[in-house]
Amino acid sequence: MERLQKVIAHAGIASRRKAEELIQEGKVRVNGKVIKELGVKVSPHDKIEVQGVPVEREEPVYFVLYKPRGVISSVSDDKGRKVVTDFFPFITERIYPVGRLDYDTSGLLIMTNDGDFANNLMHPTSEVEKVYVAKVKGIPSREAIRSLERGIKLEDGKTAPAKIKMISMEKTKQTAIFEVIIHEGRNRQVRRMFEAIGHPVMKLKRERYGFLTLQGLQAGEARELTPHEVKQLRVMATKPKK
């Protein structure tokens, strides 16, 4: 037996908090009966409807994908471009990405059908480290890099402190490569950070998400997360912040 809101979240319909709101608003039925109280538990045999639509209950699945460049972090695209779910042709569950990497960014992306798990990882209070390697145009000054490390003002607010280390630079080509560690998940954040100091990103790859890496994977390949890895990510996402 599981709590109703957890089942709805696992089905990918809404976050657990949103599922609780739907229940309290009388938009959820169990075996034809409207449920408005939180804490109700349901069995695998109970028929659940959310706003009149039957909930298809799936076993939660979790994958790590090495997303190539030129792929949309979505389950579909109205322009017919390749999307991340295209790399899972034999998966029957309705999986989707946890967060996103933009079209021209490659690297590590978690895929799941567990809405509660995904929302915990993407919540603003989640401070899971994300490690990127960025090739930028020009060679930023030490002071410019310090401004990124302290936090820089963007149109949606000041970024949290970041860890930035130069890996290499080519003076003749006027390019530099940096390792960037952040824990926020703003849209195109790393690109916007370097744009703000006048050094646009030419190439970007996410190499690590928390403790997860791309080891053993080629671009376009995926592997299933182990139960222990899923448990570790849950703990990281819900751990009280200092």
| Helix/strand number for the chain, H first, E second | 6, 17
Selection from 14, 34, 33 nearest residue 24 by Cα: 34
DSSP for residue 37: -
| Residues designated catalytic | 102
- CA separation, residue 31 to residues 46, 50, 127, 218 (Å): 6, 12, 39, 46
Tokens of 210: 């928390």
Per the DSSP assignment, residues forming a β-bridge with 181 are 131, 163
Cβ–Cβ contacts within 10 Å for residue 189, how many? 19
Cβ–Cβ contacts within 10 Å for residue 124, how many? 8
